[in-house]
Structures are given as structure tokens and as C-alpha cells.
Chain A
Amino acid sequence: MNNVPGDPIEVLLVEDNPADVRLMKESLRDSKVRNNLHVVNDGEAAMSFLRREGKYSGVPQPDLIMLDLNLPKKDGREVLQEIKTDPALKHIPVVVVTTSSADEDIIKSYCLHANCFVTKPVDLDQFIKVVQAIEDFWFTIVKLPREGCDRK
């Protein structure tokens, strides 16, 4: 266990499709690692959450962001770009989780410094496997930073 025991991992899911939100929640419910899943439904809300603006003033900074690319209001690519150019946010790993498997989406995402790119599988078992793999990798295998680049 790489993280401090007892401290749940804060995960921000940026996803407009309630079916996928639900599926994600279902998949994470049985996780071995304690986690708090925060859900926002569009790009603007995502940025407000991250900057703790308005109704998000009291939220914690997430340890991991799961970002869909096709979002209402502000597109996932823009959100990614803003996060990765913001010194206060760019340390947060961003996992792009999307329906797309298009080359240009993959290339574009990595160019904007996405930490990984995952295509949502059609098959439920595959879907659950993928979410579990993300969970395993990011929640248990890798070490996540405790604070951002500007706080030294």
C-alpha cells in the first residue's frame, strides 16, 4: 500500500453520460482501496471543482482525474490543456477514459500530457477489467505526489 492508510483516494470523474457514471461507480464500489468518487458532468464544472470555485469551495483536491473527451460546455481536450498548463494542477495524473479509439484523439491527448489513454470497452467484463486495471495501477502501484509543483 503506497498511500497513507486510512486516507481515501480522491477521484474526480468528469463524465456527462450518467450510464457511464453509474457503471464507473459500480466498478469502483468493490475496490480494495478506499476512494471518494466525485462526479462532475461538464468541462466547466470540472475546472470549477479543481479550482474550488463557487459551490466547490470546500472540496478536496483530487489525487486522480478520470476525464472523458467529449463533454458539454468545455471540451475534455480543453480541460486537459488547462490542467496541464496550470502549475497548481498539472501534477495531478489525468486518465483519459473515452469511447474514442481514434488515432488523432490518442495523439492529441498525450501531446497535452495526458497520463494515459483508455478506450471504454463495449463488453461489460472488459469494462470492469479496465476500471480495475486503472484502479490497481493508479491507486496501488504508482506513487502519487502529495502536493503540487508550486508548493515546495
Chain B
Amino acid sequence: MYTVHSDKRKSGISLIGDLPWGTHFCQFYQTKQDLLDILVPYFRAGLENNEFCVWVTSEPLSVEDAKRALKKAVPHFEKYAKKGQMQLVPSTRCHNTKGQGPSGKSIRSEIRAELDSEGQRNSAILTMLDKAVLGGFEGLRLACSAFPAKEGGKVFACGADAIVGHNALAVFAYPRDRFDAISLMEVVKDHRFALVRNAGRWEVIESSEARTVKDALKRSEEKLRSLFSNMSEGFAYHRIVLDEKGKPCDYVFLEVNESFGRLTGFEGKDIIGKKVTEALPGIEKDPADLIGKYGKVAMTGEPIQFESYSGPLNKWFSISAFSPHKGYFAVTFSDITERKCAEQELVRAKEEWERTFDSVPDLIAILDNQHRIVRVNKAMAERLGHDAEECVGMPCYRYVHGLSSPPGCCPHSVTMKDGCQHIAELHEDRLGGDFLVSTTPLFDERGQLIGSVHVARDITERKKAEEQLKMTMTDLERSNKELEQFAYISSHDLQEPLRTISNYVQLIGRRYKNRLDSDADEFIDYIVGGAVHMQTLLNDLLTYSRVGSGQKSFSLTDLNSVLERAVANLKDAIDRNNAEINWTGLPSVHADGTRMAQLFQNLVSNAVKFRGSDLPRVQITAEHKDKEWVVRVSDNGIGIDPKYFDRIFLIFKRLHSRGEYEGSGIGLAICKKIVETHGGRIWVESGPGKGTTFYFTIPEKR
């Protein structure tokens, strides 16, 4: 334990020997010599042991007398005097002080005034203690006159209180003549002991009361000392420093324990006697206002307890401060940085959780197993039109659904029964929409089901879109059916009258052969030609409508054999044109073989039909790319102007007159439909006279 007042001090008086700090005793004197007998060796010991010595002389001893005696008794006295270690102060009650005159606002005059004033003596002693500490001395050694008894009153040792517990020793000098035996004992009781001259010899009188108190004090002091020394909390004992207005402005470290050093990083021996403003510069400006807080404790005696962050040490401390004596305070403190950080982390985590909880757009309510709302997030509170706090404790079925019991479809009820997560789609008019509700069970640490997290996602828009989609799908299905029906009707019912017209016009032509002129025969030809073309169109339309409808029979299909079949079907046209059809390494794909054959047939047939002057050459290859097959059918034909690329895939759109090339203009429309039915795309690359390449894709897997 680093301390400045634990060590024994030499009293300088052989009769007494060593004395601990905080001791005050008294002397009864009758003559100058009595005072000198005791106080000269007393102060010699003080000066030689680096103590700040203050001697307030008592009548009939003058300052000069005292100085002369000291000079004589103390070797190198001038040296001490020069350092200001020895202060000789005449008592105001001395008659011979007048001659000295006022010496300005010197320490001496201050001390004198205060030490001699009953009310101010305590604080004057503390001021001197500060000066002793700040002057680099180990403590204060004081001698002063006791106050004479007031009229009918009691003589008392004013200022003794300020000595106890401090690095101070004091002698109070009482004029022997004023005391009878009883009052002498009274005086002795106020001090640790008294020095009295009896038959030419100095004797020590110790009251039994004082002894007992001393022993008890010593024991308790030792106990306390060991306690403070060994405790894990930091302990420090300070004296407060006041500014000229009496306001606390600093404090001095007087004593610290081992833990103090460990917790603050300050070595006890370095900090003892230091002002806190030196040890921790800037502390006076710290908003924690420790100096102010401790000042209040030291001046009022009211203990405080608080937690404080020390910026310079980057630590949190829990601090208790109390004042054993006015102007002094003791502090015990412990490092709570870890706890504080954990607390802050907890707060931060809680805030983060709350922020997250509230930022989720889904409506979240935590429900207990009685359907009561434990907590709702912002979205939920807003939708309910209440503050989040208002909802707490309300049964959700009443608050949310306006019912007297949970609704039948309530997934929370189910979760409370089976402890599993449940998801349901609900419509709630009061919340204005459709919701996808999930309830996830919550268990306490013992595994008891205590509630659920009820998350409602607003799916009103999605629902609407679904309804819309369903309606569109129904419409589409109906229109598809109608189209198929229409196509079928086209093949039957539209063709029948067409055939009748055609047949009978021909019959007329035949029956009335020689009775009609050549114009009539030509007209009849046109009617028949029109009817035949109409029939082709109707059949093509039927074929087109059939692609993508009805049963799809997808299976692993070898495109090589499919192409072979298509080429076989086109044998006549290929032979007629001396066309060369080549293909290599076509894959097997998941497809409808018949439709694939039709696709190839249409493409190859086009390639041959729209040939240039060279012999037609058609090349079919396939390439695997990004999970699909790209099939390429290229020819050396007349090519297609890119501006028609969009048009060629439309039904009945032709680029050439029937006189140039036959066909209804449905082939590529059917190709497109077949490819799309298989989940692929079809496109063309070409230019007039550059040949044409058709590409189509077939997904690897469907």
C-alpha cells in the first residue's frame, strides 16, 4: 500500500519516541523554557525528517525567542528556513506581535489568522497539509496554542480533528496555570496524551480513555489497511483542493492501494502527492466532472456511487466515493469495462433486432399460447392503425379479426396444437386483403410451447394477378378450343359447299359443252381453280391449328432418322431439282417425331423450292450451346431480303406470287409453331442471292 502517513515519525522528544501520523498531544507549560524544552527538539526532528513545520508561538515565547533557540539547536537551520520548511508564526494573542507589522498576504499571515480563528483552524490545517504535500514534504508538523477557556466554558483542542487521519503531528500548548487537576484531565482526554512537568521532570499522562481508543483505532486501522491493501477494487484516498472562491478545482492523491495501480496504470509511488490535473491533464474539462463530484462528497460528506467512463484510460469504472473527513475523500472503484461493453453490445444487438423487426414489410406478430399479442412490428401496427405498444396483451382474434374466438382457419391455433409450423392463405377484410400467413412455434428453454411468430405477407396484389391470370388462361383455353373447332369446321362444313360449287360448275361445263361460249369455259376454270385453292388454304389452316393442340407425344427422337423420313417424303421434288441434301451428327432430342419430320420437311422443301440457278444444296447441322441444340438448315437458294424476316413466319404471308412459286404461305408459320411447341426459337439469316439459313433451337431437356 502506497501511503504517506503510515510510517512512524520521530517525535524528537526522548520521552515519547516515535509517533504515527495523525497524532496530536498537548503540553502544559509555565515558562518559556517549558515550551522550548519540548518544541525545539520536536521541530528539529521535523526539519531533519522533511516535514513542513509550523510553530504558532504562545505567550510568553516570542517568534524571535523560538527562532534563536532553533538556530542554536538545529544544525544548518538557515537551509531549512530558506526552503520555507519552517514557519514561525506569532499568535495573534501574543502581545509582542505588533512590532512585526503586517507582512502582506504572506503565508504566514494567512496561517496566523486562520490558525488562531476557532472556526477556521481545521481548514487552515488542511491548507497547510496541501502546502506540505505540494511542497514536497512528507507531512505537517504543527505546534499551536490551545484556546483559553471562555468565561465559564471548557478549554478545548480546536483543530485536533483535522490532524487525525492525516499526515500531520500536532502539539497543543496549554498554560498550566489556568487548569486545576480536574480540568487538566478533561484536556488530556481530548488528546492522545499530555506532557506535564512534575517536580522538574517531564512526564507523559495518558488517559485510559485515550489509550483504549488508541488501541481500538490502531486495530481497526490495521484491519482497514489490510482490507484496502488486498482488495481487488482500486482504492485511493485524496484531499480536495479548492480554488480562491472555495470551489473544488483539483484533488491530491494521498494514498492508493495495489489494485489502483493495476486498474489505472499509475504506479503508486509516482502518483502519491500528485494533483489529479497533473496525473490526468484535461480531467477538469471532462464532462463527467469527477472533481466536482468528489468535491461535493469531500465538502458535504454525502457518499456517492456512479459509473463513469474514463477517456484517458479508455475504461469504464464503477466508483464509490465517501468522505471520512471534511476536505478528504476516499474512492473505491472497479473496472466494469467488460460488463459495460457487454451491456452496450446487448443494447446494440437489441436495437439492431428491433430495427430489423420493424423494417420487415411483412406483418409480424408474436403471439402467446392464449392468442394474445406479445409484440407486433411496425408494419403490423400500421396496418392495424394502432401503436405497437397498444396491441400488446390484446387477443389477436378480437383485435385483428374482430371475432370473439379464433377463426377456424387460424394457423396459430393449429401450431399451438401440434407445435409445428403452418402456412395458410387467408383473406381478411379488416386488414384489406389476402395474406399468406405462416406461424412458427416458439418454445421456452424448457421446451414448452409458449407461442408463435405469426408472419402475414400481403399477397393481395399477387392474388389479383393470379385471378387475372386464371381468367386469362380460361379465356385462352376457350378461344383455343373455339379456334380448333373453327379449324375443324373449316375442314368439313366450309369445304362441303365449296366442293358442291366446284363440282356443279364443272357439271354445267360438261353438260352444256357446246351450248356455252369459250368465255364461259374460262370462267368455269377460274371458279374451279378458286375452289381448289380455297380447299388448300382450309386444309393448311387445319394443319396449322392442329400443331400444338391435342396430345403431345414427346420422346427421345433421333433427328437423323426424322430427317431421313422428311427427305423420303420430298423425294419427287428433290429428284426433279437434282438437289443435294447433306446432314451430319444430328442429336437425339426430346421431341414429337412426327412434328419434327414436318418441320424438316417444310424447311428442306422450301430450300429446294426457292432454288437459284445452281443445283440446290441443303446442309443440315447441329451444335450444342447453353443447354440447347441449335439446328441449322442452310441452302444456296435465292435468299430472302432481311426486311421480310418477320413476315415470313406469319400465316398465309407469301413473298412471291402463285405464278412464281406454289404454296399457301403456311409452311414457315407451321415451322414456327412446331419449334415453339417444343420450347425453342426459330430465326433466319439471309440476303437476296446469298442463300438462306434457318436456325431453330430445341432445349436439351424439358
> Contacts A17-B496, A26-B507: A123 and B502 contacting too (C-beta < 8 A)?
yes
Contact check, A122 vs B507: say whether CB atoms are below 8 A apart.
no
Give Cα A79 to B30, complex, Å. 161
Please, which residues of chain B bring their CB within 8 A of the CB of A99? 491-492, 495-496, 499
Contact check, B539 vs A122: say whether CB atoms are below 8 A apart.
no
Contact check, A100 vs B492: say whether CB atoms are below 8 A apart.
yes
Give Cα A53 to B531, complex, Å. 41
Please, which residues of chain B bring their CB within 8 A of the CB of A121? 499
Interface code B350-361, partner A: CB below 8 Å = 1, 0 otherwise?
Answer: 000000000000
Which secondary structure dominates chain A's binding surface?
A: loop
Please, which residues of chain B bring their CB within 8 A of the CB of A23? 503-504, 507
Interface code A9-29, partner B: CB below 8 Å = 1, 0 otherwise?
Answer: 000000001011001001000
Complex: chain A residue closest to B531, CB-CB: A122
Q: Is A91 an interface residue (CB 8 A)?
A: no
- Return the contact of B502 from the options A20, A70, A122 (Cβ within 8 A): A122
Q: Is B247 an interface residue (CB 8 A)?
A: no
Contact check, A102 vs B499: say whether CB atoms are below 8 A apart.
no
Give Cα A121 to B500, complex, Å. 10
* Min distance, Cβ B658 to any Cβ of chain A, angstroms: 17
Q: Is B621 an interface residue (CB 8 A)?
A: no
Q: Is A127 an interface residue (CB 8 A)?
A: yes
> Contacts A17-B500, A23-B503: A122 and B491 contacting too (C-beta < 8 A)?
no
- Return the contact of B506 from the options A100, A101, A120, A123 (Cβ within 8 A): A123
Complex: chain B residue closest to A18, CB-CB: B500
Give Cα A101 to B500, complex, Å. 16
Please, which residues of chain B bring their CB within 8 A of the CB of A120? 499
Please, which residues of chain B bring their CB within 8 A of the CB of A19? 500, 503-504
Q: Is A111 an interface residue (CB 8 A)?
A: no
Contact check, A125 vs B506: say whether CB atoms are below 8 A apart.
yes
Please, which residues of chain B bring their CB within 8 A of the CB of A101? 491, 539
Q: Is A4 an interface residue (CB 8 A)?
A: no
> Contacts A19-B504, A100-B491: A122 and B532 contacting too (C-beta < 8 A)?
yes
- Return the contact of B499 from the options A26, A70, A122, A125 (Cβ within 8 A): A122
Give Cα A98 to B528, complex, Å. 19
- Return the contact of A124 from the options B488, B491, B493, B503 (Cβ within 8 A): B503
Please, which residues of chain A bring their CB within 8 A of the CB of B504? 19, 23
Please, which residues of chain A bring their CB within 8 A of the CB of B500? 17, 19-20
For chain A, the bracket of interface size reads 10 to 19
Interface code A105-130, partner B: CB below 8 Å = 1, 0 otherwise?
Answer: 00000000000000011111101000
Give Cα A39 to B589, complex, Å. 53
Contact check, B498 vs A70: say whether CB atoms are below 8 A apart.
no
Please, which residues of chain B bring their CB within 8 A of the CB of A70? 492-493, 496
* Min distance, Cβ B702 to any Cβ of chain A, angstroms: 24
Give Cα A19 to B500, complex, Å. 7
* Min distance, Cβ B339 to any Cβ of chain A, angstroms: 85
Interface code B521-565, partner A: CB below 8 Å = 1, 0 otherwise?
Answer: 000000010011001000100100000000000000000000000
- Return the contact of B488 from the options A17, A20, A102 (Cβ within 8 A): A102
Give Cα A136 to B583, complex, Å. 46
* Min distance, Cβ A143 to any Cβ of chain B, angstroms: 32
Please, which residues of chain A bring their CB within 8 A of the CB of B506? 123-125
Give Cα A20 to B488, complex, Å. 20
Complex: chain B residue closest to A100, CB-CB: B492
Q: Is B383 an interface residue (CB 8 A)?
A: no
Contact check, A122 vs B496: say whether CB atoms are below 8 A apart.
no
Q: Is B510 an interface residue (CB 8 A)?
A: yes
Which B residues from 477 to 524 make CB contacts under 8 A with A?
A: 488, 491-493, 495-496, 498-500, 502-504, 506-507, 510
Contact check, B496 vs A124: say whether CB atoms are below 8 A apart.
no
> Contacts A17-B500, A19-B504, A102-B488: A123 and B532 contacting too (C-beta < 8 A)?
yes
* Min distance, Cβ A69 to any Cβ of chain B, angstroms: 8
Interface code A42-74, partner B: CB below 8 Å = 1, 0 otherwise?
Answer: 000000000000000000000000000010000
Please, which residues of chain B bring their CB within 8 A of the CB of A123? 502-503, 506, 528, 532
Give Cα A23 to B506, complex, Å. 11
* Min distance, Cβ A57 to any Cβ of chain B, angstroms: 32
Contact check, B503 vs A127: say whether CB atoms are below 8 A apart.
yes
Please, which residues of chain B bring their CB within 8 A of the CB of A122? 495, 498-499, 502-503, 528, 531-532, 535
Complex: chain B residue closest to A16, CB-CB: B496
Please, which residues of chain A bring their CB within 8 A of the CB of B492? 70, 98-100, 102
Complex: chain A residue closest to B533, CB-CB: A122
* Min distance, Cβ B494 to any Cβ of chain A, angstroms: 9
- Return the contact of B491 from the options A20, A26, A102 (Cβ within 8 A): A102
Give Cα A116 to B40, complex, Å. 156
* Min distance, Cβ B541 to any Cβ of chain A, angstroms: 12
Please, which residues of chain A bring their CB within 8 A of the CB of B488? 102
Most buried by A among B492, B498, B504, B532: B492
Most buried by A among B499, B506, B531: B499
> Contacts A23-B507, A122-B535: A102 and B502 contacting too (C-beta < 8 A)?
no
Give Cα A46 to B424, complex, Å. 60
Give Cα A98 to B492, complex, Å. 9
Give Cα A123 to B495, complex, Å. 12
Contact check, B507 vs A102: say whether CB atoms are below 8 A apart.
no
* Min distance, Cβ A1 to any Cβ of chain B, angstroms: 29
Give Cα A134 to B499, complex, Å. 19
Please, which residues of chain A bring their CB within 8 A of the CB of B495? 99, 122
Give Cα A26 to B510, complex, Å. 12
Give Cα A127 to B510, complex, Å. 14
Please, which residues of chain A bring their CB within 8 A of the CB of B507? 23, 26, 124
- Return the contact of B510 from the options A17, A100, A124 (Cβ within 8 A): A124
Please, which residues of chain B bring their CB within 8 A of the CB of A127? 503
Give Cα A99 to B506, complex, Å. 18
Please, which residues of chain B bring their CB within 8 A of the CB of A124? 502-503, 506-507, 510, 528
Most buried by B among A20, A123, A127: A123
* Min distance, Cβ B488 to any Cβ of chain A, angstroms: 7
Give Cα A99 to B494, complex, Å. 10
Please, which residues of chain B bring their CB within 8 A of the CB of A98? 492
* Min distance, Cβ B520 to any Cβ of chain A, angstroms: 15
Please, which residues of chain A bring their CB within 8 A of the CB of B503? 19, 23, 122-124, 127
Please, which residues of chain A bring their CB within 8 A of the CB of B542? 102
Give Cα A99 to B531, complex, Å. 14
Complex: chain B residue closest to A98, CB-CB: B492
Give Cα A20 to B492, complex, Å. 14
Most buried by A among B492, B502, B503: B503
Give Cα A23 to B500, complex, Å. 9
Give Cα A19 to B503, complex, Å. 9
Give Cα A26 to B535, complex, Å. 23
Complex: chain A residue closest to B498, CB-CB: A122
* Min distance, Cβ A71 to any Cβ of chain B, angstroms: 12
Give Cα A121 to B503, complex, Å. 9
Please, which residues of chain A bring their CB within 8 A of the CB of B532? 122-123
A-B contact pairs, 18 of them (CB 8 A): A17-B496, A17-B500, A19-B500, A19-B503, A23-B507, A26-B507, A70-B492, A70-B493, A70-B496, A98-B492, A101-B491, A102-B492, A102-B542, A121-B499, A122-B502, A124-B503, A124-B506, A124-B507
Residues in A lying within 8 Å of B, measured CB to CB: 17, 19-20, 23, 26, 70, 98-102, 120-125, 127
Residues in B lying within 8 Å of A, measured CB to CB: 488, 491-493, 495-496, 498-500, 502-504, 506-507, 510, 528, 531-532, 535, 539, 542
Known pairs A122-B531, A122-B532, A123-B502 / 9 extra A-B pairs, C-beta < 8 Å: A19-B500, A19-B503, A23-B507, A26-B507, A99-B491, A100-B491, A102-B491, A122-B528, A125-B506
